[in-house]
Chain A
Amino acid sequence: MKPATRLRIVVLVAAVAAVELSCRSGVIGAFTMIAPSQMVVSLWELLASGRLHNDIARTLTAVCIAFGGAVTVGALSGAVIHALPRLRRTADPLLAAYYSVPVFVFYPMFIVMLGLNDRPKIMIGFLYAVAAMTINTLNGLDRVSPVLLKTARMFRMGWASTTLSVVLPSAAPYLFTGVKLAIAYSFIGVVGSEFILSTGGLGYQIGFAYHDFNNKTMYALILFILGVVLIVNMSLHAWEKVLMARRGLQ
């Protein structure tokens, strides 16, 4: 293990221990925060009781739909924009400015348009994720080196096999980055929307527990969502690093 990694673990453990101590000793009141150990216990009880299953399923379904849509639409539009330089000229500045727009402000509009159901939050998750996929698809296609395309011609390969055996594997690490971001952003969009206003899902339950002054449940839920997202993000990040290292990138 690298010294930095070891030190990081020490720092994180110490930070959690400090919070634990502050909560136990009353420096941080129980109405503000419960001790991390209590969060874990509370989450365990919550998961065992089965009360969360519906909300978990609901949130994950919404995330999956948003993510699937974003990856499909993002990859396709990336490919189309890449193929049409003139469209690219108009699209590039828009994509560059895309994430400066606070996507959540569209949420009220979607609620009024689509009704207070799961569709508005899927839309927000989708909108959050789709540009990341588009941008990274473009990036990947841009980086297919011209000499590899020439090599494909030397091997007398046609359009389809060039795309399949040269362009796609060439762009794969960047597409993977797009997929990784699309997952993270779908989560942010869906959970954020649920939290603001919705009829169910994990984000909704956090908001509900907050208004209900139920800190035990609220902290357990926060721990759960952050835990799931961190595990997913970090495994994808680790995988991405392996892919990049094999290519000699980064």
Chain B
Amino acid sequence: MSALEAQRPRAPSWLAGRGFDTAVFAALVLLLWQGAHLWGGEVAMTTPLGTLLFTAKTLASAEFWPHAYATLSAFLIALVIAASSGILIGAVLGFHRLSGEVAEPVLVAIYSIPKVTLYPIILLFFGIGIAAEVAFGALHGIIPVILFTMNAVRNIKPVYIKSARVMRVSGWPLFRTVLLPATLPEVFTGLRVGFSLTLIGTLLSEMFGSKRGIGFVLMQAIGLHNMDVIMSLTFLLVAFAGSVNVLLLAIDHRLHRRA
């Protein structure tokens, strides 16, 4: 560093850091939250601390876990279905150009409609219960997985496959060494988006017609005007979705940087 640079007064480095900004942001959110409580009163909003204490109490309670288990199992089954069939369908549509072209606008259209209106139909076909929840969750999650996988396959550069053929690579080694690494980043993005949408689908189905699960408990709490329950469950769900997404985003970025 030159003398000229060194002489310039600088703010302490922690003030310029990312961690500081995030802390300021978190503090602002807490302040607003507390402020909303002061403004609206105990009925309208539980304080941050109150929410945290009640969340701890909820996590320790016996009633919470069966509902959490119900939501989680429906969600995970839906996710597995959405991911596996989504990748399979997406790969087929990607390799078979015409099918892909035929299907793409339909998929995009389904992606952007309020799918919640279709839930009664799913209920009529599957009946109230885990089957309908799984079906609805998977319906939400499968579309982005298909779309991203299809585009990943379409965008494999032909020169990669040509190079592989020049080196006489084909079959399983071609898949493992060329096709999979070339498509992985985009497919992973699809899975990340699919994860979020499957969660939304599962929760929505529990909120409308269900006798169990966290979505159901949330709706029940409205009738009882139980703000503590609503705030702590909302907090738990947002924290769960947010932290899983941070993890998935980090993997996503790493995969894309390499690609």
Contacts and interface: CB of A to CB of B under 8 A. Distances in A.
Give yes or no for direct A-B contact (beta carbon below 8 Å): yes
How many residues of B sit at the interface, in one of the four size bands?
35 or more
Q: By DSSP majority rule, is chain A's interface helix, strand, loop, or mixed?
A: helix
B34 interface: no
B238 to A, nearest CB: 5
A97 B245 contact: yes
Interface in B207-231: 207-208, 215, 218-219, 221-222, 225, 227, 230-231
A207 B119 CA distance: 9
Nearest to A210: B120
Nearest to B36: A113
Interface string A157-198: 000000000000000000000000100100110011001110
B116 A109 contact: no
Interface string B83-99: 00000000000000010
Interface in B243-259: 244-246, 249
A26 B3 CA distance: 88
A108 B218 contact: yes
A233 B231 contact: no
Contacts of B117: 191, 195, 203, 206, 221-222, 225-226
Nearest to B22: A90
A113 B44 contact: yes
Given A105-B237, A188-B114, A111 B106 contact: no
B108 interface: yes
B121 A226 contact: no
A7 B102 contact: yes
A102 B200 contact: yes
B222 A112 contact: yes
Contact of B199 (A102, A191, A226): A102
Contacts of A218: 120
Interface string B171-212: 000000000000000000000110110011001100110000
Interface residues of A, number: 57
A108 B207 CA distance: 10
A234 B219 CA distance: 34
Contacts of A8: 102-103, 105-106
B113 interface: yes
Given A32-B125, A203-B116, A196 B231 contact: no
Contacts of B199: 100, 102
A88 B225 CA distance: 38
Contacts of B164: none
Contact of A111 (B123, B200, B222): B222
Contacts of A210: 120, 123
Interface in A39-90: 86, 89-90
Contacts of B120: 206-207, 209-210, 218, 222
Contacts of A233: 109, 112-113
Contacts of B244: 100
B234 A93 contact: no
Interface string A224-250: 011001100110010000000000000
B124 interface: yes
B44 A105 contact: no
A101 B219 contact: no
A97 B240 CA distance: 12
Nearest to B118: A222
Interface string B1-36: 000000000000000001001101100000000000
A91 to B, nearest CB: 9
20 contacts: A33-B121, A90-B24, A97-B242, A97-B246, A100-B192, A102-B204, A102-B237, A105-B203, A109-B231, A109-B234, A113-B40, A184-B112, A192-B204, A195-B116, A203-B116, A209-B120, A222-B117, A229-B114, A233-B112, A234-B109
Given A97-B245, A111-B222, A222-B121, 19 more contacts: A8-B103, A11-B102, A96-B249, A99-B196, A102-B196, A106-B234, A109-B227, A112-B43, A112-B44, A112-B227, A113-B40, A188-B113, A191-B116, A192-B114, A192-B116, A195-B119, A196-B207, A229-B113, A230-B109
Interface of B: 18, 21-22, 24-25, 40, 43-45, 98, 101-103, 105-106, 108-109, 112-121, 123-125, 192-193, 195-196, 199-200, 203-204, 207-208, 215, 218-219, 221-222, 225, 227, 230-231, 233-234, 237-238, 241-242, 244-246, 249
